[in-house]
Amino acid sequence: MAGAARSRPRIVPIREGAPIVYPSRSFQPGMGAWERASGTNRRRPPVSKIGRSPKASRRIDMTEPNRETATLAGGCFWGVEELIRQLPGVVETVVGYTGGTLDDPTYDYVKKGNSGHAEAVKITFDPAVISYEEILRFFFRMHDPTQLNRQMNDVGTQYRSAIFVHSEEQRATADRVKAEVDASGKWPRPLVTAIVPATAWYDAEEYHQDYLRKNPWGYNCHFVRD
């Protein structure tokens, strides 16, 4: 809206020393932000080299009724996955790499920003429980979609904000939701989230999968805004 002032999202701090916990109530309006309260603010993935995720062998059967896919990127995929996986109706989440030019990329390539891939989360969900639109609206609350090629301290094209659409219907929904969020004044700057067709997907290494479930005090820069 022309001339309308943009208000900043209200962030509610949590108790000093509290653990990283994202209970279901943190997804309800008015519950504020949940973010890491202590420790270093640097990403430190394990040093050991572990192969590709075995999640591929236990994927949800997409021929089952009421299963759809959403693919989103919004910074470090650890935090994006940790919040989205807890939404009612989300059946499975897998972190990986997409939107690049290199075949079969590894984290060592992607983290340097040279492969063109984004760190992303592929979401399998039940549309009878949660809609694609609801997932997108939550996505625009749990990361800063106004930061170009970065998210908080993570800088590079691999941390870009993007929605990878799997159909024209998803594109129409994404375009509409982005425009509505942009016009709402919830963010002080224009949204830079790219809406692009889904391309080749590559699962990330196993140690990245469900990272914050396995490492509750691990690095996380994502939280839910009101």
pTM exceeding the 0.85 threshold for the entire prediction: no
pLDDT at residue 162 tops 50: yes
Domains of the chain, with CATH numbers? Answer: 64-214 (3.30.1060.10)
According to the model, what pLDDT value does residue 180 have?
Answer: 98
The reported pLDDT for the residue numbered 146 is 97
Mean pLDDT for the stretch of residues 68-74: 98
Tally of CB atoms within 10 A around 219: 20
Mean pLDDT across 89-95: 97
Q: What is the pLDDT of residue 211?
A: 81
Q: Is 76 a catalytic residue?
A: yes
In terms of pLDDT, which residue wins out, 18 or 118? 118
53: alpha, beta or left? (left if phi > 0; alpha if psi -120 to 50) = beta
d(CA 188, CA 141): 13
For 43-68, what is each residue's pLDDT tens digit? 444 433 334 444 443 454 555 668 99
Q: Which of 76, 80, 142, 224 is catalytic?
A: 76
